Each structure stands twice: as structure tokens, then as C-alpha cells.
Amino acid sequence: MIHAEKVVDAQGLACPMPIVKTKQAITDMQAGQVIEVQATDKGSKADLAAWSKSAGHQYLGTIEEGEVLKHYLRKSSNDDSLERKHPHTIGNQTLKNKIAEDAQLLVLDVREKAEYAFDHIPGAVSIPLGEIDSRMTEVDPNKNVYIVCRTGSRSNLAAQKLAANGYKQVYNVVPGMSEWDGQTDSN
């Protein structure tokens, strides 16, 4: 059994709530302490791993116990570390305008497959955040890439990953699908 100084219950919550609850809880912890985040959202594994890296914390790993994913993170020793944000963001309305005028763009949806299946922007390519590293070659580096998720959190992390791998025209769409009022498709 792994000892954690704090346990966060994020069971039954979808993105971005496991990250939000973890952010709140880790703030009061001492550097080097371990937090256990209990979640049932399968996407939380990739979400928390990517968030902890961007926030400067150490993602230790995940243990599955039935339906519960127990994530372990170690608080950074650098209390001044700030969570990085991708510098290029656009709003939903701007994306709708870009879709209408630019046939060469790529809308990349990084939500989980089930989220995408029920509601997505027509023509969007689905690569869940947890698969972005292994499927990055499917993203054309010569296109303007507009990344969406439900709220802008996972898409922010995906945008950082693409930019770190040499993609130049990457934009995080905020607030994303939670407030998208444009056309949608379902599978």
C-alpha cells in the first residue's frame, strides 16, 4: 500500500474536475508530499499525468482497483512553479469563422472516444489526449491545428505537446465543446 499524505475523492467526476480538485488539494501540501487522487473517469490517467508535468509536479503512477483509478502525484519542491499554458488560444466563435473560410485547417478533438462519438465538430479528427504521443504523426504539421476538448484543459495539454514536438500552427480552443453552439455530428 502506498502512503499518501492526502486523498482526493474525484470518483464520478469528468474532466476537468479531477484536475480542479487535485489543484485545490495540492496547494496546501508541503513539497515532496504525495497525494492520492481517486477517480473513475478513464481519461483521468492521461489528464493528471499531463497536468502534473505542466504544473511541475511528479506523476508517480496509477493503480487500478476495480473501477477506481488511484493516481499518485508528488508535489514539486518548487513552490513557485506555475502551470504552463499554451500561448495561442482562440474562442469558439473564431473557430467557427475559421472553419467557414479555411479548408486547410485541422480540428483535433482530444476528448475520450465516447465523448467524441456522441457530439463532435464535423470533420474533426479524434485522438484522445492519452494517445497523442503515439499518434502524433497523424497530425499534419503543415496545417493550422485547432485543438478542442470539453473545457480547454486537455486541449491545452495537447497543444503544449504538439508545440514541443515542432508543430508551429497550434491553437487551443477555449472554452471548447462545453459551450460549442456550432454544427455537430455524432457517430
CATH 3.40.30.10 assigned to domain 89-179? The reply is no
**3 state SS of 135:** helix
Please report, rounded to a whole number, the percentage of residues in the chain having pLDDT higher than 90: 72
Could you give the angle at which helices 17-27 and 44-55 cross, rounded to 10 degrees? Answer: 40
CATH 3.40.250.10 range(s) for the chain read 89-179
DSSP-assigned letter for residue 131 = G
Mean pLDDT of 126-134: 93
pLDDT of residue 135: 97
Q: Name residue 146's beta-bridge partners.
A: 107, 171
Annotated catalytic, 149? Answer: no
Q: What is the pTM of this model?
A: 0.66
Q: What angle do CA 180, 123, 15 make, to 5 degrees?
A: 45
User: Rounded to whole angstroms, how far apart are CA atoms 179 and 15?
Assistant: 14
Give me the catalytic one of 15, 132, 139, 145.
15
Predicted pLDDT of residue 78: 57
Model confidence over 9-49: pLDDT tens digits? 999 999 899 999 999 999 989 888 899 999 999 999 999 99
CATH code for the structural domain at 6-74: 3.30.110.40
Query: What mean pLDDT do residues 105-130 have?
Result: 92
Check pLDDT > 80 for residue 81. Answer: no
For CATH 3.30.110.40, the residue range(s) in the chain are 6-74
